[in-house]
Structure 1
Amino acid sequence: MACQTNRRAAQIIPRAERDVAMSSDRSTINLRQLAGLLCCYVIGSAIVFIPNPLTAAAGNDAWISMTLAYGFGIIMLTCVLYLHNRHDGASVIAYSRKLIGRTATYPVGLLYILMLFFAACAVNASIGDFFTSVMMKRTPSYIFHTIGMLLSALTARSGIRVMARMFFLLLWLMLFFSLLVMILAIPIYQPAMLLPLFENGIKPMLHGLFISAGFPFGEIVIFAMLLPFVRLQAGQSISKALYASYSFSALMLIVPTICTIMAFGPAAGYFNYSLYRLSIEIHIVELFQRMEAIIGIALILGSYMKATLLLFIIYQCLIQLFNLKDDHVLMYPLSVTCIFLSATMFQSPADFQEQVYTIWPFTVIVVGGGLILLFTLITWIKHRRYLQAERGDTS
């Protein structure tokens, strides 16, 4: 009886830490909403941004690079789900304390938060760069930075349940507009543009794999902070739902990449915002013309949803790491910090390209992926020792 009581107490402790870390109203989401948030996070702004740098790096092999990067993301997702199950639904910060100690968790948590700040600011800056370069060239970019981040702060402050309900509709709108453009552009596709494969060897494909493994597929290690908020019903499997959602997101990123290659061939790597450029080429009699505004809407929706999720995760990391009261007071200071960083972090479009498509993938793969793999290894070793000790006690 005493042994059973101790085991129950050991299981209750992580749940208590998780409940304290959650919002004061203990808001939770169901499994379908979590899967929808994963789609919003992975697809986000990547559906508009990723085809250009990927085709510039890998050429016709871009879709192969993305497929392999999806495999890397599946490995990371498997590790995230393993940690989630082994630690009874605790967050990354909570099981980091258990695995490496409270003292070592502080530098790890701060590194995690710095990564999140960079990601949120990059997403926010991309909105301003898009509008000032292709639509509203005389409008200062900080106008878009401010409006976008304040909207994200207001949404994140309302809680994850409100976000999940609203984003479910916005996600389908974003996908509808993107798919509409790709379908209407069918007359200009030339499948022969997909060949030849590996024209310059395997190195360009590996370069594309590096980019897409970091952005967006490897970013699943950041999304792990949202898993403790899910409320499972009897018979539901979080693994099955997230694998399906992640695979659907990968498909929705691979298809636009293939479409831009078939439309522009080798020139696809030179056109920024490839889907936007694809929408400009659509001319079907006088009914379907000037479709680029639709892609603008898709970009706004995707970037807004991803920036909101990142801001919410930053907030959760801070209150869990420093045991702060969850009263949403920090949400607006965090958003203001992101606004200033968005306006000052990137000196030029070339600097943005280097930081987002070179430094950021390296950081996600080495730091984010490395930490998750380390936690997975430690958890596996501890669990194996526990099983061996239990067998020894039984014998």
Structure 2
Amino acid sequence: MIAILSREDEDKIKTESSAIDSVQLACMLIAFSTGSAIVFIPNPLTGAASNDAWLSLVPAFGFGLLILTCILYLHRKHAGRSLIDYSRGLIGGFLTSVAAVPLLGMFLFSIPAIITGIGEFFTTVMMKETPVYVFNSLSLLTAALTVRSGIKVMARMFLLLIFVMLFCSIAVILLAVPQYQAEFLLPLLPDGLKPVFHGAFIAAGFPFGEVFFFSMLLPFVRARWKDLRSKMYLGFAVTGAMLMLSTLCTLLTFGPASGSLKYSLYRLAGEIEIAEILQRIEAVIGIALILGSYMKASVFLFIFNRVLAELFRLDDDRVLVYPVSLVCLMLSLTMFDSPATFVEQVYEIWPFTVMAVGGGYVALLAIVTLFKPIRPGRSVKGRGATK
């Protein structure tokens, strides 16, 4: 006997098969926010704020915490609906489509930028004779296959990979203790607060402000509200702590010269030498960078695909994964003319875009939610967190 399922039953089965818990989402947040930033962020922060770079992370973390609070508030008020879904109910379908244009542009910049970072790392410090398109192609293909497997598979796999990434990073930080010189942190604020806020501007956009993208992932969570909230804040705190440690340890080893050292945590690993037995362990940080960048690219690609699927109301939410990946691959090979262009766009233009577009959009929706009665609407993935 063959059972015929209704559309509602099919949606329910699909929803349950793609549900994740709060711990898995928190691990995805750590992977997404820490990702490549743990290796990349000390260099631009030190260049902007010198030995006060670690102080720049405090206001930047505060900004990210504010954005995280906003998306959690919106998630609860709108019964687990996604950003695109409740945006339609708050400001209408037309304005949501208009607001989605710069949002889509952000995806078309961020994913190629992450892939370019992986390729540049390989061709700069590890495999200098290999063409960059080899690494870019393999990285995006792996990310696309991961996204096609679904968020549940991603969450389970990232739960393991995040521990590998954090273990590699913490191991290098601890083994480098003999290299640290506390005097490199002094004097404090020699040029006032201006350099600190310059560094905070960079870190607020990359990576802390990027947390607003998780408004598209919250509907997949099946957990009580208090549990979801506490796990998300804990995951974000782990990200802040890891970036603070990375920046501090880089400064303690190289001082103001950290601003001129690309992949400074990778360089830090090269300084480790214990009894002429344990030395030259840069590959450990290389593993952390590759894993972090891969996980971040996968999450970005998944969210990009979800935004497109909801905007165009697609029944098959995986049909665009490969075409979008191909577009991102082409952009990663043509978007950045030189390393200087990459630095300018990632550390100057991108932070402003994240704060203005992402932060502004979330803040607008939160304000409208405060004053506009909430109308019940059908969620694409159903109800998320429960009370």
Q: Same fold (TM over 0.5)?
A: yes
1:23, CA displacement in angstroms?
A: 6.0
Structure 2 residue aligned with 1:127: 118
The one-letter code sitting in structure 1 at the alignment partner of 2:259 is G
Correspondence list, 1:216-231, <5 A: 216-231=207-222
- C-alpha distance in 2 between matches for 1:267 and 1:23: 52
Structure 1: where are the runs of 5+ without partners? 1-15, 386-395
Asked if structure 2 preserves the Cα contact closer than 8 Å seen for 1:24 and 1:327, the reply is no
- Letter of the structure 1 residue corresponding to residue 72 of structure 2: L
Q: Which amino acid aligns with 2:64?
A: G
Paired residues of 1:45 and 1:302 also in contact (CA < 8 A): yes
Residue of structure 1 equivalent to 2:182: 191
User: In 2, distance between residues paired with 1:71 and 1:236?
Assistant: 21
- Contact kept, 8 Å, 1:24 with 1:326, in 2: the verdict is no
1:258 counterpart (234, 248, 265)? 248
CA distance in 2 between counterparts of 1:237 and 1:25 reads 19
Which secondary structure state, in structure 1, belongs to the residue aligned with residue 292 of structure 2? Answer: helix
Does residue 212 of the first structure (1) align with residue 203 of the second (2)?
yes
Structure 1 partner of 2:384: none
Residue equivalent to 2:333: 343
Q: Are the counterparts in 1 of residues 118 and 136 from structure 2 also a CA contact under 8 Å?
A: yes
Residues 1:361 and 2:370 aligned together: no
Change (3 A) 1:223 1:95: same
Match of 2:106 among 109, 115, 126: 115
Determine if the alignment matches structure 1 residue 279 to structure 2 residue 269.
yes
C-alpha displacement at 1:374, in angstroms? 0.4
In structure 1, what is the Cα distance between the partners aligned to 2:368 and 2:178? Answer: 54
Deviation at 1:25, TM superposition (A): 7.0
Please say if 1:61 is aligned against 2:52: yes
- Partners of 2:106 and 2:136 in 1: how far apart? 19
2:324 corresponds to 1:334: yes
Equivalent residues in 2 for 1:267-346, closer than 5 Å: 267-346=257-336
- Stretch deviating more after TM superposition (192-201 or 45-54): 192-201
User: How much identity, in percent, do the aligned residues show?
Assistant: 53
The CA distance in 1 between the partners of 2:139 and 2:120, in whole Å, is: 12
Q: Whole-Å Cα distance in 2 between the matches of residues 20 and 136 of structure 1?
A: 47
Alignment RMSD: 1.9
CA contact (8 A) 2:43 2:264 kept: yes
Aligned equivalent of 2:4: none
Cα distance in 1 for residues equivalent to 2:291 and 2:91? 38
Amino acid at match of 1:301: L
- Cα offsets for 1:213-248 (capped at 9, x unmatched): 000000011122110000115x75211111111011
Instruction: Give the CA deviation at 1:383.
Output: 4.6
**2:12 & 2:318 partners in 1: Cα distance?**
13
| Structure 1 counterpart of 2:206, one-letter code | F
Change (3 A) 1:280 1:374: same
What is the deviation of 1:113? 1.6
Q: Distance in 2 between matches of 1:224 and 1:64?
A: 28
User: What is aligned with 1:139?
Assistant: 130
Larger mean Cα displacement after TM superposition, 24-33 or 123-132: 24-33
Report if aligned partners of 1:185, 1:282 keep a CA contact under 8 Å in 2: yes
Say how many residue pairs are matched. 368
2:272 partner SS: coil
Measured after TM superposition, the shift of residue 286 of structure 1 is 2.5
Distance 1:100 1:300 in 2: 40
Looking at structure 2, the residues matched to 318 and 184 of structure 1 have their Cα atoms a distance apart, in angstroms, of 45
* 1:33 corresponds to 2:34: no
Counterpart for residue 144 of structure 2:
153
Contact 1:23 1:326 (8 Å CA) reproduced: no
Give how far 1:249 is off.
1.0
Closer/same/farther in 2, CA of residues 311 and 23 from structure 1, 3 Å limit: farther
Q: Normalising by the residue count of structure 2, what TM-score does the alignment of the two structures yield?
A: 0.92
| Corresponding letter in the other structure for 2:233 | Y
Structure 2 segments unaligned to the other structure (5+ residues)? 1-6, 376-387
Contact 1:21–1:320 (8 Å) recurs in 2: no
Q: Structure 1's 22 and 299: CA in aligned 2 closer, same or farther, altered over 3 A?
A: farther
Whether 2:130 is the aligned partner of 1:176: answer no
1:232 and 2:226 equivalent?
no
Q: Could you tell me how far apart the structure 2 residues matched to 1:333 and 1:20 are?
A: 25
Conserved? CA contact 2:306–2:317, under 8 Å? no
For 1:325 and 1:22, the matched residues in 2 are separated by: 14
User: For the residues of structure 1 that align with 2:216 and 2:60, how far apart are their CA atoms?
Assistant: 21
Task: Determine helix, strand or coil for the equivalent of 1:237.
Answer: helix
For the pair 1:101 / 2:97, whether they are aligned, the reply is no
TM, length-normalised to structure 1: 0.90
**1:242 alignment counterpart:** 232
Distance 1:247 1:62, change over 3 A: same
2-side partners of 1:22 and 1:41: how far apart? 28
User: Do the aligned partners of residues 32 and 72 (structure 1) sit closer, same or farther apart at CA in structure 2, a change above 3 Å counting?
Assistant: same
